[in-house]
Chains A and B, each alone.
Chain A
Amino acid sequence: MKYFPLIWAGLWRKRTRTIFTMLSIVVAFLLFGLLQGINQGFNHVIRDLNVDRLYVSAKTNMTDGLPIAYADRIKTVPGVRALSHWTYFGGYFQDARNPLPAFATEPEGLFAVYRDLKIKPEYLEAMKKTRTGVLIGQSLADKYHWKIGDRIPVGTSIWTNKQGSNTWYFDVVGTFDTSSVGAGFPSFYINYAFFQEATALGGGIVHYYLVGVTDPAKATEVAKHIDALFANSTNETRTQTESELAQMQLKQIGDINFIVNAIVGAVLFTLLFLTANTMMQSVRERTSELAVLKTLGFSDTKVLVLVLIEALLLCLFAALAGLALAGSVFPMLKPIFGHFRMPMIVVSMGAGMALLLALVSGLPPAWRARQLNIVDALAGR
């Protein structure tokens, strides 16, 4: 500790250079924290997905759909607790830039499969009685200031209704709480029965069957049973758990792990050279000062350690600042990940990488300082 002022003063010998080096490290670790944090966030979301739900889609492609008639057969599979389905409606409100997460469904079964979605029974009852009804997630309703009784026009480029129009009208009959499922969850539900009656195309098809299972431990068994039921039929099925489905969807937007690691790797590799160069320059400029320290009795090892600690301070201080900044950004990502803080594993990984960076970039100049010959250095050779 008594050497700290000496090390600290050495670190700030060239204030501007140190500040710029620190800023680059801060930015690099901000990036590292954000990317790794988001990566962990996706994993966190997937990990927390419910395992008592299965998703059944067409084996060939989800968009091919499955016959609505499959519902009765799936219900007969042992271990199936509840059943509903989703058919993608899409659509937008007023402008194509306001897309809606709209799905046609069988509402009672939906809320039986998703037991963590909270809805008042009277809203569900109203939905059953109102063919043109729509149930909306509370946050979406808040966003557009929709309230019960409102009639909402929804434009769609996919589904033309029997009147030949691409604008559908739905009546808000209730809202539900989506806080337990995150912002990506579909939150605009229309009656499948009405959709089937009113659409000019694609009758009798659903995109996903949603299956609630009695025993999560037997989810895989139930999934196999369902797929076996429709094996070798015209519409074979693929049944996945919620996390398998999420992982598959994430794969479609690229291997996030690979992208994150590639970016972080490239940034840190560049940073390594930058920091090593800074440290090397700093030691080179201080050759005579380090020689004076040795003259006064500082051993070779002590000088090596002083330079290494200086590199360590530079890297750790800046890296922790970068990670802290990244951590402060996470609350803003709440709509995506829900209540999610920078995982400690990312902080630990960051600190580890900063340590490695300090050692790799600090060791060559520290070794050079250690090997310094006093007489030559004092003579300016």
Chain B
Amino acid sequence: MAVLVTLRNVTKSYVRGKQKVEVLHGVDLQIEAGEFLALMGPSGSGKTTTLNLIAGLDQPSSGEVVVGSNRIDKLSRGALADWRAHNIGFIFQFYNLLPVLTAEANVEVPLLLTNLSKAQRRQRVQTALQLVALADRAKHKPNELSGGQQQRVAIARAIVADPTLLVCDEPTGDLDRQNAEEIMNLLKALNRTQGKTIVMVTHDPRAAEYASRELHLDKGKLANEEVRHVA
């Protein structure tokens, strides 16, 4: 399979107050197109930072980040925003839906950045909501939905613009076991049937089992161990 994401000798450090904090120390990583990768590790190991770099939310201090054919570490803030709009779907631990919008309006938000007509946008939103089995909750606002339903709306929002790559930061971290399983099954289905490449950060070993590959980060470095799950 073709490589979709490449991280070459990536380092990342932040300045917090007067202190410089080194988060990643020369990470090398490749993710193939169509892969479902789980990034695991203890708190502060650099999982979310790695995810942010892959998703173009942050820039490395040094090294290269290549997604598809783009050196995204070289892109300006504006170009990076545009690139994210077309290539990345985001799923957060706390759903991060806009509370004032209905489920369908939330799902429509990424499509506002496209040239699609209103009718086309509506069609896409309905399809996405059907895919997550929430078409009947389209007019509900987030506070009228359960945690699992909100996360499914977030997944619909992530896939509605048909991105190549889905990045998930602890997608089951705020859910009970049953809802977590439903979400993981949904992500797995998206990976299998839609061919979406998924990079997921999780603490939950049971969630990681849904991934095709599991990588561990520790103190800003990738551990040698790599677990491949059988489909």
Interface, chain A (partner B; CB < 8 A):
2-3, 5-6, 9-10, 12-13, 288-289, 292-301, 374-375, 378
Tell me the bound Cα distance from A294 to B58 in angstroms. 12
The number of chain B residues with a CB under 8 A from chain A is: 27
Q: Which residue of B lies closest to A14 (CB)?
A: B100
Q: How far is the CB of A307 from chain B (nearest CB, A)?
A: 14
Query: A375, B98: Cβ atoms under 8 Å?
Result: no
- Using A9-B98, A288-B96 as known contacts, say yes or no to A298 and B58 having CB atoms under 8 A apart: no
Query: A2, B78: Cβ atoms under 8 Å?
Result: no
Q: A10 to chain B: which residues have CB within 8 Å? A: 100
Contact among A2, A13, A296, A301 for B84, CB-based, below 8 A: A296
Q: A297 to chain B: which residues have CB within 8 Å? A: 81-86, 110, 113
Query: A300, B78: Cβ atoms under 8 Å?
Result: yes
Query: B100, A12: Cβ atoms under 8 Å?
Result: yes
Chain B 52-87 near chain A by CB (<8 Å), digits 1 or 0: 100101100000000000000000011001111110
Determine if B175 is an interface residue (Cβ-Cβ < 8 Å). no
Q: A374 to chain B: which residues have CB within 8 Å? A: 57-58
Tell me the bound Cα distance from A13 to B101 in angstroms. 10
Q: A295 to chain B: which residues have CB within 8 Å? A: 55, 57, 84, 90, 96
List 4 extra interface pairs beyond A3-B112, A6-B101, A292-B96, CB under 8 A: A12-B100, A296-B85, A297-B81, A374-B58
Determine if B109 is an interface residue (Cβ-Cβ < 8 Å). yes
Q: Which residue of B lies closest to A1 (CB)?
A: B118
Determine if B201 is an interface residue (Cβ-Cβ < 8 Å). no
Tell me the bound Cα distance from A289 to B95 in angstroms. 11
Q: What secondary structure prevails in chain B residues at the interface with A?
A: helix
Tell me the bound Cα distance from A10 to B55 in angstroms. 26
Determine if B92 is an interface residue (Cβ-Cβ < 8 Å). yes
- Using A296-B84, A296-B85 as known contacts, say yes or no to A6 and B112 having CB atoms under 8 A apart: yes
Q: A300 to chain B: which residues have CB within 8 Å? A: 77-78, 81
Q: Which residue of B lies closest to A303 (CB)?
A: B81
Q: Which residue of A lies closest to B83 (CB)?
A: A297
Query: A5, B105: Cβ atoms under 8 Å?
Result: yes
Query: A9, B101: Cβ atoms under 8 Å?
Result: yes
Q: How far is the CB of A212 from chain B (nearest CB, A)?
A: 69
Q: How far is the CB of B87 from chain A (nearest CB, A)?
A: 9
Q: A2 to chain B: which residues have CB within 8 Å? A: 112, 118, 121
Contact among A6, A12, A288 for B109, CB-based, below 8 A: A6
Query: A375, B58: Cβ atoms under 8 Å?
Result: yes
Tell me the bound Cα distance from A67 to B79 in angstroms. 88
Tell me the bound Cα distance from A5 to B58 in angstroms. 29
Tell me the bound Cα distance from A280 to B205 in angstroms. 42
Q: A293 to chain B: which residues have CB within 8 Å? A: 109
Chain B 89-112 near chain A by CB (<8 Å), digits 1 or 0: 010100010111100010001101
Chain B 109-136 near chain A by CB (<8 Å), digits 1 or 0: 1101100001001000000000000000
Q: How far is the CB of A18 from chain B (nearest CB, A)?
A: 11
**A-B contact list, 15 entries, CB within 8 Å:** A2-B112, A3-B112, A6-B98, A6-B109, A9-B100, A13-B99, A292-B92, A296-B85, A296-B109, A298-B81, A299-B78, A299-B81, A299-B82, A300-B77, A374-B57
Q: How far is the CB of A347 from chain B (nearest CB, A)?
A: 32
Contact among A5, A13, A299, A378 for B92, CB-based, below 8 A: A378
3 interchain residue pairs of minimum CB distance: A297-B85, A9-B100, A299-B81
Q: A301 to chain B: which residues have CB within 8 Å? A: 78
Q: B81 to chain A: which residues have CB within 8 Å? A: 294, 297-300
Chain B 161-176 near chain A by CB (<8 Å), digits 1 or 0: 0000000000000000
Tell me the bound Cα distance from A163 to B11 in angstroms. 111
Contact among A13, A299, A378 for B100, CB-based, below 8 A: A13
Tell me the bound Cα distance from A375 to B92 in angstroms. 12
Q: How far is the CB of B123 from chain A (nearest CB, A)?
A: 15
Query: A296, B105: Cβ atoms under 8 Å?
Result: no
Q: B112 to chain A: which residues have CB within 8 Å? A: 2-3, 6
Tell me the bound Cα distance from A9 to B92 in angstroms. 22
Q: Which residue of A lies closest to B53 (CB)?
A: A375
- Using A2-B118, A300-B78 as known contacts, say yes or no to A9 and B113 having CB atoms under 8 A apart: no
Contact among B52, B84, B99, B109 for A375, CB-based, below 8 A: B52
Q: How far is the CB of A339 from chain B (nearest CB, A)?
A: 46
Tell me the bound Cα distance from A38 to B112 in angstroms. 46
Q: Which residue of A lies closest to B81 (CB)?
A: A299
Q: Which residue of B lies closest to A295 (CB)?
A: B90
Query: A375, B113: Cβ atoms under 8 Å?
Result: no
Q: B101 to chain A: which residues have CB within 8 Å? A: 5-6, 9
Q: B86 to chain A: which residues have CB within 8 Å? A: 297
Q: A292 to chain B: which residues have CB within 8 Å? A: 92, 96, 98
Q: B57 to chain A: which residues have CB within 8 Å? A: 295, 374-375, 378
Q: How far is the CB of A294 from chain B (nearest CB, A)?
A: 7
Q: A298 to chain B: which residues have CB within 8 Å? A: 81, 85, 113
Q: How far is the CB of A162 from chain B (nearest CB, A)?
A: 83
Tell me the bound Cα distance from A32 to B99 in angstroms. 36
User: Which of B55, B84, B98, B99 gathers most chain A CB within 10 Å?
Assistant: B98
Q: How far is the CB of B80 from chain A (nearest CB, A)?
A: 9
Q: Which residue of A lies closest to B111 (CB)?
A: A2
Q: A294 to chain B: which residues have CB within 8 Å? A: 81
Query: A296, B100: Cβ atoms under 8 Å?
Result: no
Q: How far is the CB of A50 from chain B (nearest CB, A)?
A: 60
Tell me the bound Cα distance from A301 to B77 in angstroms. 10
Chain B 34-58 near chain A by CB (<8 Å), digits 1 or 0: 0000000000000000001001011
Query: A9, B105: Cβ atoms under 8 Å?
Result: yes
